[in-house]
Amino acid sequence: MDLHVTLETPGDSDTRVVRIYHALREAVLDGRLAGGDRVPATRDLARQLGVARGTVTAAYDRLTAEGFLEARPGAGTYVADVALEASAGTRRRRARVGAVRPLPLWETEPGAWAPRDRRLHDLSIGLPDPALFPLEVWRRLVSAQLRRSRMEEATYGGRGSFRLQHEIARLLGLARSVVASADDVVVTAGAQQAIDLVARVLVAPRTVVAVEDPGYAAVHRLLETHRAVLRGVPVDDEGLVVDALPADARLVYVTPSHQFPTGVPMSLARRTALLRWAVDHDAVVVEDDYDSEYRYSRQPVEPLQSLDRDGRVVYVGTFSKSLLPALRIGFVVPPRSLLPALREAKRVTTWEGDLTTQGALAEFLAEGHHAAHVRRATRVYRERRDLVLTALAELHDVLTVMPSVAGLHVCARFRDETVDDRDVVRRAARRGVRVEALSGHHRDRPPRPGLAIGFGGIGADEIPDAMNRLGGAVRSE
């Protein structure tokens, strides 16, 4: 019997027991040892392996206790019959490893994930600059949360940090005119989970969901995994074209403050039209207010939620843009009628979430660090944005900048609609600039070519050179 026990590596007695145990166990499971086979006497195997007899005995005891071996007094130790059944069953079907398939809707190739290439000028969209985050303050606040009494609070079925709910309600009231008390705020693991919870409680299989086109693919994918039927609705310079909404949509997912990806703010006329549409069609509007903390215009961008008098708007926000994606904290402010269901949905999936981060964030807000950070960061981003816009102005014969007043990126469309914007992106990459094509965010209708230019991940000192190279890519054939 070949046991395949490798004992050359020095290890303590426990380790040797485990190795012998596993070697025998594998031999049984593989069928190399069959039910009724006699295994070597402990003394013999110990000699063969050069270990103490007690080591082998301990391994045999464990296998016996588990039911793999049985000691027959006076006759030695044998492989048990029950183990035989197991090995016969499994040996035969070994080739079927991997027979279990996920549901068809999950049978897609996962998106390839590539680490960022630090050699490129990075004009990617959707990421704030981590260098601006007040890390020392954050470290102090997190450390203060890691005390025993706080650890004891975290359990199952709790409510999460009520203090954070309170601070978020306060922030939303002051900065965003959102009408919410602490009780109305459900804290989530980022906006993506927030939308997942909303989909759980509102989307049944084949529910029609209207989404912006172009729009935010990660949320679209999420909604599809809930078996929603998605319908892309065009976006123009006033935002979502409300007249184009399909009458059977029960849910409308929009980014009215800074449309993703175009950056266009939804006009007030469209906002009121959308709210009226929702009432008339008994639909719910999910408003994703993902990066409107950074505002560059006196024109305020008030959320739909603050205009809603009918309880039709579910407001979703996140600290991933105003602070850092790493915090992974977002929130939902639903109409009261959805609040118990959303709390329950949160509870059954991830209980109350990470109380340490929640507690630290509550303090961060209460001590005014959030407001100070947003003020400071807005100044920095405004400078970067101005540099991008200045450079785009020099390309006005080729590109039209789309109106936007907030956020961490701007978009520009090619005047010539036959341009292949992915070609431009590839040319830009060859010139050392990472930038995104607008057509990649389109869903149903023919894409209109353009570029989405982010300034969260690039310093002001780099932008002129980056835009210069991008300009070269735009103009070259």
Binding positions for its own copies, 19-58, rule CB under 8 A:
22, 25, 29
The residue among 89 and 446 lying less far from its own copies, judged by its C-beta, is: 89
Binding of its own copies by 16 (CB under 8 A): no
Q: E strand or H helix at 400, and its extent?
A: strand 399-401
Give the x-and-dash track for 182-201 against its own copies (CB under 8 A).
Answer: -------xx-xx--x---xx
The residue among 344 and 394 lying less far from its own copies, judged by its C-beta, is: 344
Q: Which stretch binds its own copies (CB under 8 A): 18-26, 70-78, 377-385, 395-403?
A: 18-26
CB atoms within 10 A of CB 375: 10
Binding of its own copies by 91 (CB under 8 A): yes
The residue among 356 and 413 lying less far from its own copies, judged by its C-beta, is: 356
The residue among 265 and 471 lying less far from its own copies, judged by its C-beta, is: 265
Binding of its own copies by 157 (CB under 8 A): yes
Which of positions 137-156 make contact with its own copies (CB under 8 A)? 138-139, 142-143, 146-148, 150-156
- Give the angle subtended at the CA of 193 by the CAs of 189 and 197, to the nearest 5°: 125
Which of positions 227-286 make contact with its own copies (CB under 8 A)? 267-269, 271-272, 275-276, 279, 282, 284
Q: Are 251 and 283 in contact (CB under 8 A)?
A: yes
The residue among 103 and 247 lying less far from its own copies, judged by its C-beta, is: 103
To its own copies, the closest distance from the beta carbon of 377 in angstroms equals: 14
Q: Are 25 and 63 in contact (CB under 8 A)?
A: yes
To its own copies, the closest distance from the beta carbon of 26 in angstroms equals: 10
Binding of its own copies by 122 (CB under 8 A): no
Q: Are 239 and 267 in contact (CB under 8 A)?
A: yes
The residue among 245 and 419 lying less far from its own copies, judged by its C-beta, is: 245
Which of positions 388-447 make contact with its own copies (CB under 8 A)? none
Cα–Cα nearest to 289, from 312, 321, 311, 262: 321
> Tokens for 129?
């600059």
Beta-bridged to residue 233, according to DSSP, are 212
Q: Which of 2, 73, 103, 416 binds its own copies (CB under 8 A)?
A: 103
The residue among 361 and 412 lying less far from its own copies, judged by its C-beta, is: 361
Which of positions 332-391 make contact with its own copies (CB under 8 A)? 335-338, 340-345, 347-351, 353-357
The residue among 301 and 402 lying less far from its own copies, judged by its C-beta, is: 301
Interface with its own copies: number of residues (CB under 8 A): 120
C-alpha span between 174 and 188 (Å, rounded): 21
C-alpha span between 457 and 365 (Å, rounded): 24
C-alpha span between 359 and 142 (Å, rounded): 8
Q: Could you identify the residue written with the tokens 């975290």?
A: 154
Give the x-and-dash track for 299-328 against its own copies (CB under 8 A).
Answer: xx-x----xxxxxx-----------xxx-x
> Tokens for 293?
């903390």
To its own copies, the closest distance from the beta carbon of 295 in angstroms equals: 12
Exposure class string for 397-430: b at 16+ Cβ within 10 A, else e: ebbbbbebbbbbbbbbbbeeeebebeebbebbee
To its own copies, the closest distance from the beta carbon of 113 in angstroms equals: 5
Q: Are 131 and 462 in contact (CB under 8 A)?
A: no
Give Cα separations from 282 to 83, 186, 247 (angstroms).
60, 23, 10
C-alpha span between 419 and 206 (Å, rounded): 36
